[in-house]
Amino acid sequence: MTISSLVGFNFGCQCFTFIIDCFLHSPSFTIVGMKLVKTDKLNSSVRFLPSIDSLLKTATAKNLSAKIGAKRFTEIARSVIDELREDFINENLINNENDNFSREELLEIVEKKLVETAETFESRKFRRVVNATGVILHTNLGRAPLSEAARKAVLEAAGYCTLEYDLTTGKRGRRGRQAEELLCELTGAESALIVNNCAAAAFLVLSALSAGGEAIVSRGELVEIGGDFRVPDVMMQSGTKLVEVGTTNRTKLKDFADATTENTKLFVRVHPSNFRVIGFTAAPDLTALAALARERGVLLYEDAGSGAIVDLSEFGLNDEPVISESIKAGADVVTFSGDKLLGAVQAGIIVGKSEFIEKLRKHPLYRVLRVDKLAYAALAATLEIYQKEKHFAEIPVLRMLSQSKEEIAERAENFIKKLQADLSGFESQTFNLQLAEGASAVGGGSAPLTHPPTILISVRHDKLSAEKLESALRSANPPIIARIENDCLLLDLRTVSRLEEADLSAVLREIAAES
């Protein structure tokens, strides 16, 4: 019988440590009839576990404590020591060389575990990463990276700022005025309003404009967007009765006309962002739907999802709604995201006719869903770039999208040449770097059929598998996020800025030096 089964059986796990400690000093120990050798080893090792005070005399602990604060250090140190004690009890940690760990050995083990635990916490922090996946709007990596101007604007707004203050009158000003005015100018809409995200925008529109009534939607547009945004659920929450018309693949104007009753408040058009039905399909033209809405006295609301401020069809995005065109077609209200193709921060943008936008602004939910000063600052700075028509050069999302395969090939080739020159000091080859044909992705639930052709850098390492290499890149500083296909690690420079290329090559040099 082992000590763990005996004591575990009688007292449960929690008491166990305590019992062991008692046994350590108890001469009655052998009477219980345990395996002596094993318990001896266990006893001594547990006894030699360092105390927090003795630990604090080591340089590692001193450094760590200074870095993370004494309180946090003590918490982590205690959990590491407790865990080790458990390990001894469960015999997970056995010293093969001789029976007992020495005090010094244990101190070393604890120090190592401390550093590892602190590193794990560190890796969970918010950190900048290099996105080498080629997915432009990578939702897990924060969707759109901000332009230089937007970053500066966020920094400027971080202190006191003119969020709701008019400098000319010295009185209270309208929150978000500049961003709203820019949106009107760029989309041709009469009015604009900004809320937390596009899901919030849809919820506000439905709550303010169709609660208690019916909204008609085509069956082909009852979509689920990532993060559990489901059109039917949002409708229900808003108190709107959903009326489905048409079929999955085909819905006609007549379907809307036939379903309209005196309770109908809205015609809803939802852009099927992350999927496409292809083949025998039909959906009513937005202009025709707007005319029908006017005729029947109902409103037309379009949830454009990503939407686009400028036409992106030359880059393969030919079915993302251009917001100004939706407004021109006669939509009363249009909503879209701030951090998808627009290329700014998370926000839900609502544009449309003043009469309805003002209703939304006065609705109590608007106060719940409004955005903070940093979002307004980033949005306004991004929209100013569109106003100056510099978007393809200065907004990262559009710059990445508009890069040609040839341009990326040239960058990749130069990158490989430079890295190979830097690595020529190493004895073995270490890395085998090749160019490969491939495709990037738009991501963020936009344009699922668009796969911009790209040139990838395939990376093979002498000693590391693709998985090990991927993990080494991910653990680097800054972390590099790459993809693996057919057992090969792939880097797509489309989503790596020129500045970040230096990070990428520094990390690869480090990995080469370590192996």
Ligand X SMILES: *Cc1c(COP(=O)(O)O)cnc(C)c1O
Q: Which amino acid belongs to residue 442?
A: V
Give 374 or 469: the residue with its C-beta nearer to ligand X.
374
Of the pair 130, 349, the CB lying nearest ligand X is at: 349
Closest-approach residue to ligand X (CB): 305
Q: State both tokens at 305.
A: 């999802």
In the complex, the smallest distance separating the C-beta of residue 237 from ligand X, rounded to whole angstroms, is 14
Which is closer to ligand X, CB of 246 or CB of 305?
A: 305
Dihedral sign computed on CA atoms, order 194, 196, 202, 205: negative
Among residues 145 and 305, whose Cβ is nearest to ligand X?
305
Whole-angstrom distance, CA of residue 505 vs CA of residue 490: 14
Name the residue with tokens 């993370």.
68
The distance of closest approach from Cβ of residue 272 to ligand X in the complex, given in angstroms and rounded to an integer, is 7
Nearer to ligand X, 50 or 307 (CB): 307
Burial class of residue 301 (count of CB atoms within 10 Å of its CB; 0-12, 13-18, 19+): buried
111 binds ligand X (CB under 6 A): no
Sequence-distant (≥ 6) Cβ neighbours of residue 351 within 8 angstroms: 183, 184, 187, 189, 191, 192, 193, 323, 327, 333, 334, 357
Choosing from 321, 343, 348, 438, the residue that interacts with ligand X (CB under 6 A) is 348
Task: State the minimum distance, in angstroms, from the CB of residue 302 to ligand X.
Answer: 9
Residue 109: CB atoms within 10 A of its CB come to 17
Q: Which residues contact 493 (CB under 8 A, 6 or more apart)?
A: 132, 408, 411, 412, 415, 454, 455, 457, 501
198 binds ligand X (CB under 6 A): yes
Shortest Cβ 198–ligand X spacing (Å):
3
Give residue 165's identity as a one-letter amino acid code: Y
Distance CA 334, CA 353 (A): 9
Of residues 43, 238, 306, 326, which one binds ligand X by CB under 6 A? 306
413 vs 301: CA distance, rounded Å:
48
- Stretches 129-137, 154-162, 196-204, 209-217: which one binds ligand X (CB under 6 A)? 196-204
Here the tokens at position 182 are 């820019």
| Beta-bridge partner residues of 243 | 216
Kindly state whether residue 323 participates in binding ligand X, applying the rule CB under 6 A: no
Greatest Cα pair distance, the chain, in angstroms, is: 97
Stretch that binds ligand X, among 108-116, 182-190, 197-205, 315-323 (CB under 6 A): 197-205
Identity of the residue, 134 or 305, whose beta carbon is nearer to ligand X in the bound complex: 305
> Which x/- pattern over 436-475 shows residues binding ligand X (rule: CB under 6 A)?
---------x------------------------------
Binding residues for ligand X, rule CB under 6 A, total 15
Nearer to ligand X among residue 270 and residue 380 (C-beta): 270
Q: What are the Cα distances from residue 15, in Å, to 19, 23, 31, 35, 94?
A: 6, 12, 20, 20, 22
181 in Cβ contact with 190 (< 8 Å): no
Report strand pairing: 229-230 vs 224-225.
antiparallel
Q: Which residue has the tokens 């796990």?
A: 13
Contacts with ligand X, 263-282, as mask; x by CB under 6 A: -------xx-x---------
**Of the residues 65, 337, 382, 430, which one makes contact with ligand X according to CB under 6 A:** 337
303 binds ligand X (CB under 6 A): yes
Binding string, residues 199-218; x marks residues near ligand X by CB under 6 A: x--x----------------
What 8-state DSSP symbol labels residue 238?
T
- Least Cβ distance, residue 139 to ligand X (angstroms): 8
> Please, which residue, 34 or 217, has the CB nearer to ligand X?
217
The answer to whether 160 and 392 are in contact (CB under 8 A) is no
Among 134, 305, 321, 352, binds ligand X (CB under 6 A): 305
- What mask, x for binding ligand X by CB under 6 A, covers residues 65 to 84? --------------------
Q: How far apart are CA 347 and CA 255, in angstroms?
A: 33
CB of 369 to ligand X, least distance (A): 11
Task: Give me the least distance between CB of 340 and ligand X, in Å please.
Answer: 6
Among 61, 76, 225, 308, binds ligand X (CB under 6 A): 225
Query: Minimal distance in Å, beta carbon 427 to ligand X?
Result: 50
Question: Min. distance of Cβ 277 from ligand X in angstroms?
Answer: 15
User: Cβ(350)–Cβ(335) under 8 Å?
Assistant: yes
Closest CA to 281 of 228, 218, 222, 344: 218
Contacts with ligand X, residue ranges (CB under 6 A): 197-199, 202, 225, 229, 270-271, 273, 303, 305-306, 337, 348, 445
